[in-house]
Copies of this chain bind each other. A is one copy, B any other.
Amino acid sequence: MQNAAGPNFLADCPARLAVEILSDKWAALVLFGLNDAPRRHGELVKIVGGVSRKVLTETLRRLQSSGLVQRIEEPPRHVQYRLTDVGRELIGPIESLNTWASANAADIEAHREASWTE
């Protein structure tokens, strides 16, 4: 997003960074899955539900590369994933999106159906 506008303009919206991260289909679920405790890969597959091992690996890598998740190696061959502080601080905002969406999903769906049949 461009940020050439002055202070009276809204063109710079930091929320886009969060939205970009959460646009990753499984990102929010993986963050929630790590909220209680560090988890091994296999545990996360079960907790998240519906994600393949390969896609979970890719999601974890992207969250690691943004510094939201940390990979902890404990030899021999014991690897866990845990939230960083930055990742943990995103749990609250995601919950507020969940609350909003749960309260309004039916209303939004009804509007969309009405607009399709106009």
A residues whose Cβ falls under 8 Å from a Cβ of B: 1-2, 4-6, 8-11, 13-19, 22-23, 25, 28-29, 32-33, 46-51, 64-68, 86, 89-90, 92-94, 96-105, 107-108, 110-112, 115
Contact = CB atoms under 8 A, between A and B. Distances in A.
Copy count, this protein chain: 2
Give the 6 A-B residue pairs with the shortest CB-CB distance, closest first: A9-B49, A67-B111, A5-B49, A11-B49, A65-B115, A14-B101
Contacts of A65: 111-112, 115
A22 B89 CA distance: 19
A89 B112 contact: no
A110 B17 CA distance: 14
A46 B9 CA distance: 7
A17 B105 contact: yes
